Chain A
Amino acid sequence: MSTAVTAESRQSSGSIWNQFFFAREVPYGMALVRLLLPAVLLVDIVRRWAHARELYSTDGALATLHLNFGYPDMLPELSAPWAVGLFTVLGVLMFTSAIGWCTRFSLLGSCALYFYFSYMDCLSTATKYTVISQHILLLLGMSNCGDIWSVDAWLAKRRGQIVDPRGAIWPQRLCQILFGMIYFGAGITKMHTDGFFSGDQLVFWMMTYVNNEHPLGDHMTRYPLWVSIGCYATFVWEIVFIFTIFQRRLKWPTLAIGTVFHLMTVFTLGLILFPILVSAAYLVFLSEAEFKTILSWSPFRWLSGVLAKTPADAPAESVAEPVVEMPRMALRWRFGSPAVFASVLGVAALVGVAVEYQLDHYQMRGPNGPLPLPELALEEVQKMLAGDEPIRAVDKLMAFDLGSTLVAEHLASHRTVYEQGETFFAQVSLNPPHEDMWIDCVMCEAVPDANDESRLVPGRVLYRTGQVIMREAFRTNFRFTVDSGIAPGEYFLKVKSGNDEMARRHFTVLSKDSDEMRAASAN
């Protein structure tokens, strides 16, 4: 009995394994990724092509990734013609991958060359999206994604060959597992990052301008509580991704959240290529059945007629139609295609090298070449070389906010109008690094400026308090109660470190039953 159960369970687990990795499907999802991913990467490659001599050759400034790891000789360094020629070949291979010409070779070749060039330039080529792309190019190269919607399929059809595009889905599964692993790893990174869950690290990223413009990110820096909530949500989603993505009910909600998450990085962090690339690569989650379901929806129904003629339906047709004798032209194509392909690569490389040479990247050979170095003004240099100075107190302060509700360590709302009897918090957020600091919080009357009466400035000091902020702390709060001793009017709170004023906030106190207060609250 027990032997029978064991055998049955073994057979069952074996069939689950077979079904998961070796079910046979038409690789619609993988083919879509094959069409999109190289096309997106081609944008990056075209932008860098004119700089290939400088970025990837010994006639430039190589910045190898392996040097940072202590392996300076891991990969060979190429002279300029070789680097430019191979980089041109990389661009051509990306293009032929997208159109599906000698697909497997194109994908594996572009993966190998992209890996090489990424490692040769860690400053402006190697990023995590290039790594993700290399993984996916490798797995696409192992799949039969070139059997549909490709030049290869068209050539096969011309030759009269019947190709069954159905194949084992293990490369697609590995792509899906790759995404699960990436998000799990990204979750681990967040776990390790100090200040991530408080939102502080992300707020600093939103203030960083090393990527493109990110107007939403600028505004989000005012709401660290919402950023913090977003950080927790992102972390949970990343960790559970690999567990939910293979559940039929949870798969599409998980991907929808992922798409929104990546889309938000465009507006909050100024990333562009990464979200486009990852969203395109999400198509690896599309199964054959789901693709056909989508085609049955009315907006896409017109496409199903076109796609019905894909080789997916070829085996059924092949039974009905007699095999046509191969014409002489097709015979020539069969042998000619790889040869033509190799010729195209060779010619492209040579043309690339010649054109790049003519462009004269460094402008050494022109009438004005080599170009002169731009001079710097002496005052500017003196400022740069004046020696290190300590960080100013005002630069140690990140923000000074007032509000009445504290959630976790953040102010839930920012308010500057308070009623007598109310309690509010003055929150001081600091920029690391800072030493252990004594911070004074000083409440002053607001008085008209002597030079400009319409402008209010701090006047007589009414109250002073202070506390220590330890070097590892990001923020501290001062709690104030507006008691009856504080008359309705305008006031200032100032934050000081020693004699240096770091920041000030203007606020208004209203009497307890003031109409003005009601109006302010209503707004």
Chain B
Amino acid sequence: MKRIFVVAFIVGYIGILTFGNVCHLLQYGVSSHPLMYMIVWDMFCGWSAYDMRVKIIAEGESETYYDLTKAPWGELHAYGYIGREHYDHFNSHSGAIAQNVLKHTCHEPIVRVIVLDECWTKKLNLPDSVWNLRYDMPKDWHTYYHVRTVMLPDGTVTKRNDCFLTHQGRRMAYDNPRLVQQSLVGRPMFLSEPGAGVSGESAAGLPGARLPVASPSAN
């Protein structure tokens, strides 16, 4: 009897692992259930050319702005030297992080919370010794900021945008009079888009705009 259970377990276990790999190979159903994370081995999920950090700021009634990114009680650097909010590539949890910091700190009444992407090209990360070997020009550091979400202090989202790279990809695609003309042809005079009040941009992606497809758990 025990042997039957053992054989069933062996067959079941190998079957589940195989199922995960087949789904991964066919790119079918990999996000269908949280348990798929246990059997899909997407350790190298793609990295963009821009380094990205999350910045969460709160605006008080007095128009003073506060930094919610670095909690005053200290932060955990789980995998290196940056806080956990920077691993939230889908922007699913920044609201919870902001509310937690507000809940446990002393501050004036807050009127809105803003989540921003802070980005720069990754080549600027290279140490100067390596930079000087490859580039004849000095580093010209430039940081881009992009508003990702605007929230009320209770977490209600009032505006949500795509990430910096998708936004820039769309901007580049739309920098084309023919494309803009075609997109306007046939558009109804009275446009009704579900969720238009919340979402500032369409969710469609563009070629060349790279979105991470999983948490940076390649670690």
Which residues of A381-409 are within 8 A (CB) of B?
Answer: 381, 383-386, 388-392, 394-395, 398-401
> A208-B122, A384-B145, A391-B144 known; A431 and B49 CB under 8 Å?
yes
The reply to whether B219 and A370 form a contact with Cβ atoms under 8 Å apart is no
Contact code string A496-523 (vs B, CB < 8 Å = 1, else 0) = 0000000111100000000000000000
Which B residue sits closest to A170, measured CB to CB? Answer: B10
Query: What residues of chain B have their CB less than 8 Å away from a CB belonging to chain A?
Result: 6, 9-10, 13-14, 17-18, 20-21, 24-25, 27, 31-34, 36-38, 40-51, 55, 57-58, 64-68, 70, 72-73, 76, 78-82, 84-88, 90, 92-93, 96-97, 99-102, 104-107, 114, 116, 118, 120-123, 125-127, 130, 133-137, 140, 142, 144-147, 165, 167-169, 171-173, 175, 206-210, 215-219
Interface locus among A65-73, A157-165, A282-290, A296-304:
A65-73
A123/B215 contact (C-beta < 8 A), A185-B21, A193-B44, A375-B64 known: yes
Contact between A433 and B169, CB atoms less than 8 A apart: yes
Once the chains bind, are B107 and A69 in contact (CB under 8 Å)? no
Asked if B48 contacts A189 (CB within 8 A), the reply is no
User: Top 8 closest A-B pairs, CB basis?
Assistant: A185-B41, A124-B78, A431-B49, A127-B217, A63-B93, A61-B100, A435-B172, A207-B122
For residue A158, give the distance in angstroms from its CB to the closest CB of chain B. Answer: 28
7 A-B contact pairs sorted by A residue (CB < 8 Å): A69-B34, A188-B41, A190-B44, A218-B127, A381-B57, A433-B209, A435-B173
Task: Flag A48-81 by CB within 8 Å of B: 1 or 0 each.
Answer: 1001001100001111011111010010000000
Instruction: Tell me the smallest distance from the CB of A466 to a CB of chain B, in Å.
Output: 19
Check A364/B104 contact, CB under 8 A, given A211-B79, A270-B80, A388-B167: yes
Give the chain A neighbours of B92 by CB distance below 8 A: 63, 67-68
Verify B219–A129 contact, CB threshold 8 A: yes
Taking CB atoms, residues of chain A closer than 8 Å to B210 are 432-433
Which residues of chain B are near A194, meaning CB under 8 Å?
46
- Roughly how many angstroms separate A184 CA and B122 CA in the complex, as a whole number? 30
Q: Which of A175-183, A311-319, A335-343, A477-485 contacts B (4 or more CB under 8 A)?
A: A175-183
| B24/A177 in contact, CB under 8 A | no
> Quick check: B106 and A392 within 8 Å, CB to CB?
no
Bitwise, A109-140 to B at CB < 8 A (1) or not (0) is 00000000001011111111101001100000
